[in-house]
Amino acid sequence: MTFKTYRDVHLFCRDTRAVLMRHEEKNIVTLGNILIGHRGQDTAGWRDPKNWLMAVLSDESGIRLAAVMTPPHCLTLCAADDAVGDTHLQCLANGLAETGILIGGVMAENALSEGFARHYTKARGLRYDILERQRIYQLLRVTPGLEKPGPVRLARESDMAFLPYWLEGFNNDCFGSSPPVESLADEARYHIASGQLYMLEDQSTPVSMAKITREVETACCVGYVYTPPYFRAKGHATACVAAVSRLMLERGFLKCVLYTDLANPTSNSIYQTIGYRPVCDSLEIRFTEAS
C-alpha cells in the first residue's frame, strides 16, 4: 500500500474526484470541499487550500481512502468502497501521524471514523471521544404540500439587523457554544454575499433559514437550518427546508443531502417528513491528550 500527501488541490481533485463520486451522497462534504478549493473562487477562512492537509492511501486496485483536513475543522475521511479494511485504516493513520501535523479529530462513516481514530490515537499517544453521532440523509423528491406558510427568498443586507443573532443561536444549538454575537457580523455578510442563504417569511417576517453549503455534480448539501425559539413549533423549519430542497431540484440537482445530530429527534423527524431518507450513519470524533 502507498501513502501520499498533496500540496496542490488541483492534483488532489484530479486523482480523487472520480473515486469520491462513486458515493456522492456519502462523500459530499469532502467532495464539496475539494471542489471549492479546485475552483478557487472562494478562499475565505478554511476554504483556502494552502492550509489544507490532503492525503490518499492506494493499493493495486487504486485509491482506497481519501482524507482532507480544512483547519480549524477536523479530518474528513472517505472510502472508495466497502472493501476498505482495518489494514487500510492503519496504514493511513500511521502515514498521517508521521507527517507530524496535528489532527484534532475525524468525521466519517461509523466504521471508518472509529477505526481510523483507534489507530491514529495509538500512533500519536492520544485518546479519542465521540463528539457527535450523525445521520446522513438524501432527498430525491419533496413531499407535496409542505411549502408553507410563506415564500423563501435569498438573504439580503437588511437581514443584518438580526442575522448575527440567528448565527449565534445556530452555533449554540449545534455546537454548544458560539463566538460573541458582535464578532459574527462578517460571517453574516459572507453568507449573504454567497447567494446561498435562504429566508422563509411568514407575513413578510423572516422566521427560519437554510443554506446550500456545498454543490457537487448531481447533489447539493443543505445546512444552517435554524428557527429562532419564538417561531418554533409552527412548521417553519419544515416549510423552509422543503422549499429550499424543492428549489434545488428544480434548478437541476438530482438529490439534496443533509446531516443530522442523532441526539435531536425533532430534526430527524422533520427531515423525514419532507422526504429525506437515511443513507448511513456518521461519527465525529475528537482527539485529546491521553490522561
Q: What is the DSSP string of 18-77?
A: HHHGGGTTTTHHHHHHHHHHHH-S--SGGG-GGG-EEEEEEETTEEEEEEEE-TTS-EEE
Q: Which residue has better confidence, 70 or 45? A: 70
Name which of 94-108, 139-153, 201-215, 232-246 the model is least confident about.
139-153
Residue 62, burial from CB neighbour count under 10 angstroms (0-12, 13-18, 19+): exposed
- pLDDT (mean) for 119-143: 96
Quick one: pLDDT at residue 163? 98
Residues 6+ apart with CB under 8 A from 165: 181, 228
CB 37 within 8 Å of CB 66 = no
Query: How many CB atoms sit inside 10 A of residue 100's CB?
Result: 7
pLDDT at 3: 97
pLDDT higher than threshold 70 for residue 273: yes
- And the C-alpha cell for 262? 442523532
* Residue 2 scores a pLDDT above 90: yes
* pLDDT for residue 148: 67
With a cut of 90, say whether residue 175 has pLDDT above it: no
Give the model's confidence band at 176: pLDDT under 50 very low, under 70 low, under 90 confident, else very high.
Answer: confident
- Taking only the tens place, the pLDDT of each residue in 54-78 is 999 999 989 999 999 999 999 999 9
Q: Read off the pLDDT of each residue in 91-113 and give the average, rounded to a whole number.
A: 96
Q: How many Å apart are CA 121 and CA 251, to the nearest integer? A: 44
| Mean pLDDT, residues 109-129 taken together | 96
What is the C-alpha separation between 191 and 70, in angstroms, rounded? 19
Task: Tell me what pLDDT residue 117 has.
Answer: 97
Per DSSP, helices labelled H in 70-184 are 86-98, 110-124, 163-175
pLDDT at residue 151 greater than cutoff 90: no
With residues binned 3-state (H G I as helix, E B as strand, rest as coil), the percentages for the chain, rounded to 5, are 40, 30, 25
Q: Which residue has the higher pLDDT, 251 or 41?
A: 251
Left if phi > 0, otherwise alpha if psi is -120 to 50, otherwise beta: which for 275?
Answer: left
Q: What average pLDDT does the structure give for the chain? A: 94
150 pLDDT higher than 90: no
Residue 147: the pLDDT is 63
Mean pLDDT over 46-55 rounds to 95
179-224: pLDDT as tens digits: 999 999 999 999 999 999 999 999 899 999 999 999 999 999 999 9
Percent of the chain with pLDDT over 70: 99
Greatest distance between any 2 Cα atoms in the chain: 60
